[in-house]
Structure 1
Amino acid sequence: MSVIGTEAIEGFSPSGVTAHDRLHLGLALVLLVVLAGIPLVANDYWLNAVLIPFLIMSLTALGLNLLMGYAGQASLGSGGFMSVGAYATYNLLLRLPELPLPVSLLFGGIIAGLVGIIAGLPSLRIKGFYLVASTLATQFLLEWLFNQYGWFSNYSTSSSISAPRLALLGHDLSSPAGRYLLTLATVATVTVISIRLVRSQTGLTWMAIRDMDTAASVIGIPVTAGKLKAFFVSSLVIGIAGALWGFAYLGTVDARSFNLDRSFEVMFAIIIGGMGSISGGYLGAAFMIFLPILLDHVGGRLFAGAVDAGQLENFQKALFGALIVWFLIKEPRGLAALLSRAWTQLVSRLAR
Structure 2
Amino acid sequence: MSDGLRRWLQKAGGELGPSDARNLSATEASSVWDSLVEDDADSVLIGSFFTALRSKGASSDELVGFARAARRRIQFPELPTGAVVLGTSRLGKKNHPPLGLAAAAAAVASGTPVLIQSAPHAAGEGVTLADLWERAVGPVLEDSVAVSEEIEAHGMACWRPTSADSSWEVLLSIEDRMGLRSLPDIVCKLLAPPASRVLVASRPGPVLALAGDTLAALGHENGIVMQGIEGSVDPAVSVSTRGMELHSGGKSPLRLEPGDFGLACASEPPQMHEERVEAAVLAQEEALLNTEGPALACVLLGAALMLRLGGRTQDIAEGVTLAREAIESGKAGSILERLKKFD
**Shorter-chain TM-score tier:** under 0.3
Give the structure-1-normalised TM-score: 0.25
Q: Which has the larger radius of gyration?
A: 1
Which has the larger share of strand?
Answer: 2
Higher-RCO chain (CA-CA 8 Å, sequence separation at least 6): 1
Give the structure-2-normalised TM-score: 0.25
